[in-house]
Amino acid sequence: MPVPKSQYMSEVWRDGLFDGKVVFCTGGSGTMCSFQVRAMVHLGANACIVGRSAEKTEAMARDIETARPGSRVIGVAADVRSISSMMAAVDKCVKELGSFDFAIIGAAGNFIASIEQLSANAFQNVMNIDLAGSFNTLKAALPHLLRSASSSSKSEGKKSGTSGRVIFISATIQYTGLPMQAHAGAAKAGVDALSATVAIEMGPRGMTSNVIAPGPIEGTEGMGKLSQHNNDTALEKTIPVGRFGTVRDIADAVIYLFSDAGSFVNGEVLVVDGGAWRTGKSGPGADLKYPDFLLSGERISRVDEKRVVPKL
C-alpha cells in the first residue's frame, strides 16, 4: 500500500535526483532496507530487491512501486549465502533493468545468546549470512558497479547523480563489544573491514564503498526480535538525542551517500544512532541486567537461535 513520503524520506531532497538510475538491494524485503529502496524509487530510480522468500519479496517490490508512478521494481528470491544464487539474482536484475548503478548490501541475521549458549553452527550461520553473504553480493555485483562507475565518469554532467557506489548496512555492537552478541559483532566487524578494502581497491576506478551503522530503529525486525524492553521510555533515555531512530533516518543517509553530496565520501562508516553506541545501553539485549544475567547461568529462551534470518 502507498506510504506517505514523510515516513521514508525528508523533504530536502529534490525530485528526480536519481532519474535513470537502478539500485540493487539485498535484505530488500525487510522493513529497513525496503524503505531505503522506496526513497530511491521516489527520487527517480528503478530497483531490484532480493529476499529469501519469493512471495514476500515480490509483494514488497509491488508495494515499493507505489512510491512513484511509472517506476519499475522487481523482486528476486535468492540466498546470499550462495554465490551462485547471488550471481543468478544479479543476472536477472541486469536482464530486466539494464544493469545497476548502486548496491545496498543489507541482508542480516541475528539473535541473542551468550558464548556459552551459542552453538558453533549458529555462529557459523550468522557469519555466512552477514559476512560471507556481503562478500557474495559484492562479488556478484562488482563488475556492474565498476562498469557503471566508469560510464558515469565519462559522461559527467549528462546523467543525474553519480554511479558505481555500494553501501553495506552494518551495526555498532562491534565497537566496544556487547554481551550476547559475539556472533553478530564478529560478523559486522568483518563487514566494516570488507567495505574499507573495497574503498581502497576500487576507489581508483571510480567506485566508492561506505558503511551505514544504524542504531535502535523503531518498527524494524531487529527491534522486535532482539529487544523486549518493558519500558521504552527508559530505553530511549539511554540514547543521547532522546528517541529511537526511524527508517527515514537511515533512508536519508543512503540518499546522501548515493547523491552528489556524498561524492568525496569513501571508506567511511556513517553511524546513524543518535549517539546511542557511546552509552552502551541500547543495543540488542540491553534489557538484560549486566552482569547478573550472565552470572545466573540462565539461558535465553525468547529468541530461537535456529531462526537467524530475520531479513534476507
What single DSSP character describes residue 64? H
What CA–CA distance (Å, rounded) separates 9 from 41? 11
What CA–CA distance (Å, rounded) separates 102 from 160? 13
What CA–CA distance (Å, rounded) separates 167 from 147? 17
Contact yes or no for 175/33 (Cβ under 8 A):
no
Peptide bond preceding 291: is omega within 30 degrees of 0, i.e. cis? yes
In the numeric block, which cell numbers belong to residue 66? 507505489
Does 237 qualify as catalytic in the annotation?
no
Point out the catalytic residue in the list 21, 188, 225, 311: 188
Does 170 qualify as catalytic in the annotation?
yes
What CA–CA distance (Å, rounded) separates 147 from 133? 22
For the chain, strand residue ranges (E) read 22-26, 46-51, 73-77, 102-105, 165-169, 208-214, 269-272
Point out the catalytic residue in the list 170, 227, 259, 282: 170
Q: What is the dihedral of CA 270, 220, 134, 105, to 10 degrees?
A: -60
What CA–CA distance (Å, rounded) separates 117 from 189? 21
Report the alpha-carbon angle 224-230-232, nearest 5: 75
Active site residues: 170, 188
